[in-house]
Structure formats: structure tokens, C-alpha cells
Structure 1
């Protein structure tokens, strides 16, 4: 489906009408999405009546005011108008996230021929691989509204990337998928450093204690030696007195 618009210029229906013309930009906005091609004309009364319905359909699937996660859906307006003023009239009523081909782009007619569009309004729904899911989904949209997207999604086997809710992460402080491994690694290293530090500190403490004990023993030894010398001197004095 992305190949359908590669080397083409898609325009965003915003105030600045930004152009998407690089492969990266086209892939970023169309890849892995269901694509709706809206063929219409401002002169067609049915188209004018259908535009508000389609606009509401698209808003309920893409606008954050209605849903938390925008659906993987893109809408491109393929104008079959007779003038650029008529095309602008239709775009004015469509959502700002709708894309369109410039009025002077001949690829509009090629797409009309490619998908055999004879009546308007027509909404061709394409799978991400470019195959046709619905040749004209106008009646489905009018009848089922945004609920029909679920059927398209199931048929296209489209994988939602935003399947995990924010509240599931409320109690987690993980910044990346590798954070648990990193934290375990650094925790282990910290534990090793702590153990080494405690061993060194303990060895130093024991050494100091040994030194203190050694100093105490020497003091005790000196004290005992002093008492012994005093006793010897006293004995010598007594002997001298007896001899006298």
C-alpha cells in the first residue's frame, strides 16, 4: 500500500497544508495502516451529505478527544472536482489529519481508473499490503459507524502497537527494557564492592585491636617488672640492715 504513493506528494489538510514527499514521510504515515481512499466531488449532493458522516467516523478513530490511542488508519481524499475551489470546499469540512493529492496531480485520475470508481461518494478500503478490503465502504460506514473498523482490523490482521495501557506501568520505574538487567548488574557489583570494603575495614579494625592488645600487654609486662625490681631492692636493704 505504501508503494501506491511512493514518489508522490501527499498534502496534509492542516492550516499550513504541509507536503509529505519523501519515502520516510510516506512510510511513516501509511505503513502498517488501513488506508481509506475517499473519492468525491463538491458538486455531488450525496457527497456533501456523506462528508459529515465520514468526518465523524474518522474523528472517533483518530481524535484524542474521543479515544486514548489513535487507530492505525489513514484517510486520503481523492478529488474528482472540476476546480481547485471545489476541492478546497470539501477539504474545509474534513478532519485536519486527512491527506489529499494536489488538484493538479494527474495521479487522481489514475487512481480512479485503477480502482474502477464510477460513482461518488466511494470509499475504497485497503489492507496494509495494498490489497482491497472493501471496494466501497460507504454503506458500512453509514450503517455501523466506527464499529466497522474492528471488522476491517480483524480481516487485515492488523497488529495494534498500543495494546498496553498506561496504568500497567504506574508502579514501575523502568526506563528501558534492559533496565532490570542493568540494575541487577550494578547491584551485584555494588554488593561486591561493599563486601570488599567491609573485609578491609574489618581487617583494619582487627589489626588496630591487636595493636591495642599488644600495647596493653607490654604495659602490663613493664608494670610486673617494676614491682619485681622494687621487691628485690627491699630485700637487699633488709639484708644490709641485718649484717650491720
Structure 2
């Protein structure tokens, strides 16, 4: 996103970390839709819109609500008269929100560039910096998070959230002994000549019925010794 290269973006977190290098800004903004929120503490309509905007952004980016954060970045372009008033707005915005410092003259340039004539205004930009929506306030209020899909399709955004939830669940991390537990830890029964059954003792000393079924020649061999060392004292 060349629009902010050479500029300083500040994170709305406790430490107010600054993104001031080309690499930091590129990593944060590339392949994402940008929402430039123009507003001020003195604007009553802005104050009414803030809870809606915060909820909208949170439901798309907070992993409590979504499997993966949407490719969306919110940047507050303050039109406040003082830094103190700017801070009051930032307190009502998400911690992941970015903003320009109060004394940054680039805010005025953005205001002119995107022909902002009223507040609140939310300019939605494609990853290449072109305008997708000159003011999405009404769309956000009316459609809620559904409008993000419209933006995503309109911007032809490369979707990195390609895994369905079911597929993602299948790839969750498992313990080191899980493959053994699922495939190699089994009790075999075989019939005697007289028709009776008995449990066969496996190689795991002290563990009745455990058979390692050619573990030495399988892909589970590296964890066999770990499993035996952990369980050898149980019996």
C-alpha cells in the first residue's frame, strides 16, 4: 500500500507502537482492504457511529468470532481540534486500529485526496489504493458484516482463508503419542487350537496386550522409545 509508505502509522495499543519502516507498513497493509475512518470527538453523528464501527471491525477480525481474521485494516484519520479529543475517539476504537499522529499534516492531504465533506466518513480502499467505496457508513449500518464479502469480491482480494472450519479442525496439533495411540496401541486376540481365546502380550514390558506391530520399520518408530519410557513404571 504505497499510500502510507514513508509515513508513520501508530497502533492503538497500550504502548502506541509505531510502524515507521517500509517493511512494517507493507507487512501490515498488503493484500488487505483499508477502511479510512474520518471523524472527530466533537461530531455527534461520529459518536453515534463509533459503537457500530467497533462491533463491525471486531466481528470481522477478532478470532473469537471468526476462524481467521479478515483481511481488513481500520485507520483513524482524526479531524479533532486537539490531541486530547483525538484520544477520546481512540478509546472507543479497537486496539488493532491504526492512526496518524495528531500533528501529522498528511491527514489533511488525505481529506482533500478523498474529497471528505462530512463526518463520519469511511473510505474503503483496495490493496492497490484505489477507491472501492467513497463512504461506506450507510452500508456498514445497513448490511453489517455482510458488506465485507461485497468489498472482497469487488476488490478481487486474494483470499487467504481458504480452509473450511472442518478442514482446519482435522489439522489441529496432536500429542507425540497420538499416532501410536490411534494406530499401534491395540490388543490382539487369537484363538487357540481348542477354540479358546487369550490376549497376546506385546513387546511393551509391563503392558499386557500391547503390540508394537513392526514399529521399528514404521514411521512411528521415533516415538516408540518415548512412549515406553513414559509408561514403563505404570505396572
**TM-score, length-normalised on structure 1?**
0.68
1:37 to 1:172, Cα distance in 2 relative to 1, 3 A: closer
Corresponding residue number in structure 1 for 2:70: 71
Structure 1: which 5+ residue stretches go unaligned?
174-189, 191-244
Larger gyration radius, structure 1 or structure 2: 1
Larger RCO of the pair (alpha carbons < 8 Å, separation 6+): 1
Task: Spell out, residue by residue over 1:71-120, the C-alpha distance to the aligned partner (whole angstroms, 9 max, x if none).
Answer: 00001000000000000000001000000000011000110011010100
Q: After superposition, where does 1:9-20 map in structure 2 within 5 Å?
A: 9-20=8-19
CA distance in 1, matches of 2:71, 2:162: 12
For residues 111 and 80 of structure 1, what CA distance do their matches in structure 2 show?
Answer: 11
2:203 paired residue number:
none
Runs of at least 5 residues in structure 2 that lack an aligned partner in the other structure: 174-216, 218-235
Partners of 2:67 and 2:165 within 8 A in 1: no
Separation in structure 1 between the aligned mates of residue 136 and residue 87 of structure 2, nearest angstrom: 23
String of CA shifts for 1:19-54, please: whole Å, max 9, x gaps: 000111101110011100000010000000000000
Q: Give the deviation of 1:143 after TM superposition.
A: 0.2
Matches within 5 A, 1:1-244: 2-165=1-164, 167-168=166-167, 170=170
Q: CA deviation at 1:166?
A: 6.2
CA distance in 1, matches of 2:167, 2:39: 43
Q: Deviations over 1:107-153 (max 9, x none)?
A: 00110011010100000000111110000000000000111000000
**CA displacement at 1:70 relative to structure 2:** 0.4
- State the 1:161 CA deviation: 1.1
Higher helix share: 1
Separation in 2 of the partners of 1:92 and 1:172? 36
Q: 1:157 to 1:48 in 2, by over 3 A?
A: same
Cα distance in structure 1, aligned partners of 2:107 and 2:167:
45
Number of corresponding residues: 174
Residue deviations 1:168-197, cap 9 Å, x none?
A: 363799xxxxxxxxxxxxxxxx9xxxxxxx
TM (norm. structure 2) is 0.71
Q: Aligned pair in 2 of structure 1 residues 171, 94: CA closer, same or farther (>3 Å)? A: closer
- Cα distance in structure 2, aligned partners of 1:47 and 1:167: 40
- Secondary structure, counterpart of 1:8 in structure 2: coil
Q: Distance in 2 between matches of 1:33 and 1:65?
A: 20
Partner-residue secondary structure (3-state), 1:38: strand
CA pair 154-15 structure 1, distance change in 2 beyond 3 A: same
